[in-house]
Amino acid sequence: MNIHLIYGITFVVLLAMELAYFKVADHFNIIDKPNERSSHSTITLRGGGIIFLVGVWAWSLFFGFQYPWFLAGLTLVSGVSLVDDIHSLPDSVRLVIQFVAAVMAFYQLDILYWSMWWIILLALIVYVGATNVINFMDGINGITAGYSLAVLIPLALVNINGVFVEQSLIISTILASLVFCVFNFRPKGKAKCFAGDVGSIGIAFIILFLLGSVIIKTTDITWLIFLLVYGVDGCLTIAHRIMLHENLGEAHRKHAYQIMTNELKIGHVMVASLYMVMQLLISLGFIYLCPDTTPAHWMYLLGAFTILTVAYILFMKKYYHLHEEYLVSLKNNRYGNK
């Protein structure tokens, strides 16, 4: 069968499956109710990001089960995340499952060498940590699907002819992201569904597996630059919250993108597009403008990291006080209602 026809059929199947999930979610009341720390104000279906898992299963059915351990790990971590979307699970349970799934991905990547156990353990911690950072960044309409495209498209460009991983897997995941965009890449209050943990954790697991394939086969860790924008916002916000002695497990609105949408009232689609464009420009520059040498890659990565870090700090210095004012008003409202 013609490859383009297969992709066309895949897109239609994924679209139909997403619509079918909406009926299931509506029937079982799988919804996201806004609270004082949410960036949305209307009740919306949760878990639409299950389409990322469905996309990989569809790919496996059309192209053969080429990565069975990866598929098993993705199914496990996405399944538990879906359960967590419906009924909250203890953090310890979710973390254990994420580590087990990561081990499955590492087994698929053929990097479980017991003689290097401490390096493998560190890599597992980074894998699970990065998965959760990507999950933390899922807070406004369009940002998960849009940013995923900004990572997957450059990955597809460097993987032409399947040099590092099966190209059809990347294309199928792009199609799943496009389907999710149809229902989520919309202005505030207009989204049909949210990704939920099943979506943000699922797409993170997929992207990290794909990036891992490239890094292992090139022995060049600087390909992590494909996640730089999320990495800077996510990690620096975590560092900021640690400085404030906050419980990292509690919901918050301190990410730069959240301050843009909540305090500065910039539209969800605009902010999501900004993050998407920034990551695309950085990644495409890395692919096409940066010399293909290790020193050049590190200089480019450190330069881009420095620029984004400075931009983040300056942004917070100028606008974080608006969030503090919001917290004060929130506290006053609570006190006034008692």
Is 197 annotated in some ligand binding site? yes
With 0-12 / 13-18 / 19 or more C-beta atoms within 10 angstroms meaning exposed / middle / buried, residue 66 is middle
b/e per residue 176-206 (b: at least 16 CB within 10 A): bbbbbbebbbbebeebbbbbbbbbbbbbbbb
Distances (CA, A) of 7 to 59, 63, 72: 9, 11, 23
Does residue 269 contact residue 185 with C-beta atoms inside 8 Å?
A: yes
Contacts of 259 by beta carbon, 8 Å cutoff, 6+ apart:
253, 315, 316, 319, 320, 322, 323
Is 135 annotated in some ligand binding site? yes
CA 199/CA 137 separation, integer angstroms: 12
How does DSSP assign 62-78, residue by residue? HH--S-HHHHHHHHHHH
Binding-site annotation, residues: 135, 197
Q: Where is the binding site for Mg(2+), in residues?
A: 135, 197
